[in-house]
Amino acid sequence: MTLRLEVEHLEVRYGDLIGVADVSLRVEEGHIVALLGSNGAGKTTTLNAIAGLVRPSAGTIRWRGEEIGGMPAYAIVPKGLALSPEGWRLFVNQTVEQNLRLGATALRDKSRIPQLLDRVFGIFPRLAERRRQSASTLSGGERQMLALGRALMSEPKLLLLDEPSLGLAPAVLETLYDTLWKLHQEGLTLLLAEQTVPLALDIADYGYVLQTGRTVLEGTARELEADKQVQKIYLGIKDEPASAILSGSKP
């Protein structure tokens, strides 16, 4: 496997506050990697540092062997990384289509934008129906679709997803994860930050658990499902295996 992303001993400070203290992780080409942890564990800050939205205080972030830690987002996106933030982080006063077009800003070949729009509308027909509507009028599920669609407009090789399940109804959530799996099957590599641990591990190859801004556990998805500490803290069970509460298995 070609190593795509490597983060070592990442630290991010906001003045005197420490957002991330010591996070290390790797994402291999063609894999789905889950970044797990409770609210405030440092998942969003880690993704924002990789995407160039916040500047690391220490540590390294390497993409295909190149150090990108500290680069601005506009320099990172053309290298093949894109962040799909929580669905509420949109330009709500602009239309669905305008939000999507903003995702293609980094493209060198702007003639590809119509084709990419067609692709996103094919993945999310609901967005096609609402392409002229203001993003402020969308439901939570539709906003999450738009956040993901906007990230896809830059044709990323590695897609970073921040809490895609947040606030979604079960039926919408299932559809969204089916879409993520299909994108992965088409060759997209995913780094997925989630609080919904069973759901993330059901499609992931490998996972990292963050706690108070530090990487405290790592392993294959199956190993983490069976880990007693993960079961107790994140899955809410003590004796039965994690697989017993997971609905279904990898597609």
Q: What angle do CA 7, 104, 116 make, to 5 degrees?
A: 110
**CATH number of the domain encompassing residue 3:** 3.40.50.300
- Under 8 Å between Cβ of 48 and 126: no
Rg, the chain, Cα only: 18
pTM of the shown model? 0.87
Domain extent, residue 204, equals 1-80+158-167+191-245
Assess if residue 186 is contained within a domain.
no
Q: How confident is the model at residue 234 (pLDDT cuts 50, 70, 90)?
A: low
Number of domains in the chain: 1
Dump pLDDT digits (tens) for 40-91.
Answer: 899 999 999 999 999 999 999 999 999 999 999 999 999 999 999 876 678 8
The Cα–Cα gap between 196 and 202 comes to: 10
Six-digit token string for 28: 């291999």
Dump pLDDT digits (tens) for 100-157.
Answer: 999 999 888 899 999 999 999 999 999 999 999 999 999 988 998 999 999 999 999 9
Dump pLDDT digits (tens) for 148-186.
Answer: 999 999 999 999 999 888 878 888 888 888 999 999 999
Residue 56's SS3 state is coil
Q: 62 vs 21, 189, 191, CA distance in Å? A: 18, 16, 15
Q: 247 vs 148, 233, 242, 243, 251, CA distance in Å? A: 24, 19, 10, 8, 11
